[in-house]
């Protein structure tokens, strides 16, 4: 991480809890508290890519949506250029939306089927810059389509006429049309074929270099995260368990959960792949409604002790590598 770069985003002790109505027949039964995100701290610098990984249900997408404001934070701060987004009025937040955009997981479902792609890509421009002429909007749309690898003569076609990879390129063009400073990518390649995944990831890297973008990149595929990320945040049951530079994390994971995730990544060398030991996690992911006391990973951790049930660990270490485990120095 290059600390000489400008700090764009700082998340401090972010929590997102949901109140779940009780299934009890008694009307006075108290609702349950689902802890989707339960205390995450992270920084994002100008031009940097932060990868976010973890099992399904660990809070990755909720964390991303809380940053952009699609879900309301229960506690904590989301500082964008020093200003807390969680405390902004709607007028102030609207201005920041020009600088923070999002690419969604399902490329087709995120596009309006009743609008042609020209109108879809142009919509943010018309919202934030209503004084632009139709000619100026058309020109910008065609320029952006060219940058993401779409032929400008397809501007009048509808989303259902495109493949999944092409629809994701449309989503990227829409996110980029305002020239934002940061884009949150919520599993943008998980619904695509492997060959198309590589094309989209390489496109994002090219656009990042051209526009100086910062990315929050959420994914299940650790090989994709390794390829695109500068730093990686590992989450488990809404908690941060490890945060490190990508090269450092993949070369030397420290947390038992991270080690288990890394051991499941296929290795191209057949000899190494045959001899490697996969660290299987025992048991099921606990419910975020009733998480374990102390360390939330202790019920599946191979090195857990009685002390893990009494003390909740927090990230400790350096900016280069920090771990949330009382047994790791």
Express each pLDDT in 97-109 by its tens digit: 889 999 998 888 8
Whole-number Cα distances in Å, 313 to 86, 141, 243, 303, 326? 26, 48, 14, 14, 6
> Tokens 């008694």 map to which residue?
26
For residue 26, what pLDDT band results from cuts at 50, 70 and 90? low
Rounded average pLDDT over 196-217: 93
Query: Model pTM?
Result: 0.89
Range list for CATH 3.40.50.300 in the chain: 7-22+32-99+180-323
For residues 204 and 89, which has the higher predicted lDDT (pLDDT)? 204
Whole-number Cα distances in Å, 98 to 22, 110, 177? 39, 18, 10
Express each pLDDT in 130-188 by its tens digit: 999 999 999 999 999 999 999 989 999 999 999 989 999 999 999 999 999 999 999 98
DSSP letter for each residue of 73-138: -SEEEEEETTEEGGG--HHHHHHHTTTEEEE-S-TTTTS-TTS-HHHHHHHHHHHH-TTS-HHHHH
- Strands across the sheet with 75-80, in order? 32-45, 7-20, 75-80, 83-84
Whether pLDDT at 2 is above 70: no
> What's domain 7-22+32-99+180-323's architecture?
3-Layer(aba) Sandwich (3.40)
134-147 and 164-176 helices, crossing angle to 10°: 130
DSSP letter for each residue of 146-163: HHTT--GGGTT--GGGS-
Tokens (6 digits) for 37: 């995100």
What is the predicted pLDDT for the residue at 220?
85
């Amino acid at each position: 991480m290059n600390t000489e770069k400008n700090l764009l985003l700082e998340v401090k002790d972010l929590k997102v809890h949901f109140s779940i109505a009780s299934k009890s027949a008694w009307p006075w039964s108290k609702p349950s508290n689902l802890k989707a995100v339960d205390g995450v701290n992270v920084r994002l610098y100008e031009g940097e890519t932060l990868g976010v990984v973890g099992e399904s249900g660990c809070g990755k997408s909720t964390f991303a949506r809380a940053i952009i404001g699609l879900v309301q934070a229960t506690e904590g701060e989301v500082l964008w250029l020093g200003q807390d987004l969680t405390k902004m009025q709607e007028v102030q937040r609207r201005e920041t939306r020009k600088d923070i955009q999002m690419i969604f997981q399902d490329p087709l479902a995120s596009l309006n089927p009743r609008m042609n792609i020209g109108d879809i890509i142009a919509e943010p421009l018309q919202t934030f810059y209503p004084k632009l002429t139709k000619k100026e909007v058309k020109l910008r749309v065609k320029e952006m389509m060219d940058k993401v690898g779409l032929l400008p003569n397809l501007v009048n076609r509808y989303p259902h006429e495109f493949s999944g990879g092409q629809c994701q390129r449309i989503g990227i063009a829409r996110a980029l049309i305002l020239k934002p400073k940061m884009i949150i990518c919520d599993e943008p390649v998980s619904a695509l074929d492997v060959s198309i995944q590589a094309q989209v990831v390489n496109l994002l890297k090219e656009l990042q270099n051209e526009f100086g973008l910062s990315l929050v990149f959420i994914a299940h595929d650790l090989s994709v995260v390794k390829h695109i990320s500068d730093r990686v945040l590992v989450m488990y049951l809404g908690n941060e368990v490890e945060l490190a530079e990508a090269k450092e994390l993949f070369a030397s994971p420290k947390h038992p959960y991270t080690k288990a995730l890394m051991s499941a990544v296929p290795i191209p060398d057949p000899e190494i792949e045959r001899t490697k030991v996969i660290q299987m996690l025992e048991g099921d992911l606990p419910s975020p409604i009733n998480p374990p006391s102390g360390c939330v990973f202790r019920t599946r951790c191979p090195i857990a002790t009685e002390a893990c049930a009494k003390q909740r660990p927090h990230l400790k270490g350096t900016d280069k590598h920090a771990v949330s485990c009382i047994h790791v120095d």
